[in-house]
Amino acid sequence: MPESVRLDLASDYAQLESMLDKLNEGHIHVAVLGRVGVGKSSLLNALLGAEKFAVSPLHGETRETEMAGWRELGEGGVYFIDTPGLDEVDGESREKLARDAAARADLVLFVVDADLTAGEFEMLRSVADRHTPVLLVLNKADRYTDAERGALLGSIRERAVAHVRTEDIVVAAADPAPERILRVGADGVEHEEMRPREPQVEAVRDRLWIILEAEGKSLAALNASVFAGDLSDEIAARLIETRRSLGEKVIRTYSVAKGVAVALNPVPVADLFAVAMIDVSLVIHLSRIYGLPLGRAEAGSLIGTIATQMVAIMGTVWAIHVVSSALKLGTGGLSVAVTAGAQGAVAYYSTYVVGRVAQQYLAQGMAWGPDGPKAVVRSILDGIDRESLLGQAGDEIRARLRSKA
């Protein structure tokens, strides 16, 4: 793997490493997710029976993800992870923290305090799409009458049905507002009194524990493997891109070298493939980029195959066409070098096509694919804008010749 890709993904690797440690130790991570102020920190505190996480009536007390141990489970422990929360107003970095925490968690407590907003619904869907199990908590139940609560639950169930099982949608009051009561004193006068209320989180606790006992270990394993799978897809995608762009640079470099060589020492067009040393070096270079190193003989026979297909497809006239379009492009003042320049451009073009075809063959793991080499050569030829490539070839070759002069 190229160093640049390795460095880019270092933090993902470290994360995977820590997930595997966690798996070994049997730890399970439960993260809260939800809008700012819905009572995420309050809910975790109520479950813990201790004020571990900062709660605030102000907008968004929790700024970092934080963790606290809840209970033992098997040989490991269940940990709660508090997150900053999703915020429509002062957004993205917090949202990213929350998303990342959810992506790493084995289970998500998704907290809402009313019917789902569009943003909440989107987030819920993206968590469920990762196959992370979700317990959906309607918090602040104390703010609603029984009838309102029933209606809200009905609506939430209906909207979340594709992503959350009905039994995994529960109601809580993590930090209920104090109760206002009227008491008649000994003097016969009514006094208003505020009586604190206990948190109501039994439904959350019971359901959470049932899920964790039944599937906790497999959730952690599933989570690590989904993460590892995503990471390897990511690596594969970056490798393809890195090799493609590196390959393209290498192909251009060799094409110019070949063009210059031919411009300085013109050979008959028919003999272009005979001057194949540069092409052989190019193919060997490409094969190393793709981690499938070829020897000179193998590279030579690959070029032979490609050349045969090029001639078969374009006929013997192909080179004439190329030469004439190269000539049309003019000479940029180097009138002496008209023919030489045109031949150089043709040489550039042929090496470029050889490189691109070889690159595709290597990218497919040294295979031509179901339709054989001819189809590959044809698709590369069709994909090249010949006029503009020859224009560039002419410019690059002339620039080189000038600097040599």
Name residue 71's beta-bridge partners.
78
Q: How far does CA 335 lie from the centroid of its chain?
A: 52
Between 120 and 175, CB nearer to ligand GDP? 175
Q: Give me the residues that bind Mg ion (CB under 5 A), please.
A: 40-41, 62
Nearer residue to ligand GDP within complex by CB, 63 or 249: 63
How far apart, in whole angstroms, are the C-alpha atoms of residue 281 and residue 295?
10
Using the minimum distance from each CB to ligand GDP, give the nearer residue, 197 or 321.
197
The contacts of residue 285 (CB under 8 Å, 6+ apart) are: 250, 254
Backbone phi, then psi, for 274, in 5-degree steps?
-70, -30
Minimum Å distance from CB 36 to Mg ion? 7
Question: Token pair for residue 211?
Answer: 């899920």
> For 81-199, where are the alpha helices, taking DSSP H only?
92-104, 118-129, 146-160
- The one-character DSSP state at 164 is S
Nearest CB to ligand GDP, comparing residues 60 and 266:
60
C-beta closer to ligand GDP: residue 198 or 385: 198
Site string for ligand GDP, 129-158 (x = CB under 6 A): ----------xx-xx---------------
Scan residues 73-92 and list those touching ligand GDP (CB under 6 A).
85
State which amino acid sits at residue 172: A
Q: Residue for token digits 């270990």?
A: 217
| In contact, 296 and 280? CB cutoff 8 Å | yes
Residue closer to ligand GDP (CB basis): 37 or 133: 37
Pick from ligand GDP, Mg ion, none: which does 143 bind, CB < 5 to 8 A by kind? ligand GDP
Contacts (CB under 6 A) with ligand GDP, residues 161-200: 173-177
Which string of x and - marks every residue 23-42 that binds ligand GDP (by CB under 6 A)?
A: -----------x-xxxxxxx
Q: Rounded to an integer, what distance in angstroms lies between the CA atom of residue 205 and that of residue 137? A: 11
Q: How far is the CB of 55 from ligand GDP (least distance, A)?
A: 4
Shortest gap between Cβ of 94 and ligand GDP (angstroms)?
11
Joined tokens for residue 251:
């192909």
The verdict on 57 binding ligand GDP (CB under 6 A) reads: yes
Q: Does 399 engage in binding with ligand GDP (CB under 6 A)?
A: no
Among ligand GDP, Mg ion, none, partner that 26 touches (CB below 5 to 8 angstroms by kind): none
Q: Are strands 169-171 and 179-184 parallel, antiparallel or unpaired?
A: unpaired
Closest distance to ligand GDP from the beta carbon of 113 (Å): 7
Q: What is the DSSP letter of 167?
A: G
CB closer to Mg ion, 23 vs 201:
201
Give min distance, CB of 43 to ligand GDP, in A. Answer: 7
Distance from the first to the final alpha carbon of the chain? 40
Q: What stretches of 144-276 show up as alpha helix (H) in DSSP?
A: 146-160, 202-264
In angstroms, give the least distance from the CB of 82 to Mg ion: 6
The structure tokens 């606790």 sit at 205
| Interacting partner of 394 out of ligand GDP, Mg ion, none (Cβ under 5 to 8 A depending on kind) | none
Asked if 204 touches ligand GDP (CB under 6 A), the answer is no
CB 247 within 8 A of CB 359: yes
Binding site for ligand GDP (CB under 6 A): 34, 36-42, 55-57, 60-62, 85, 139-140, 142-143, 173-177
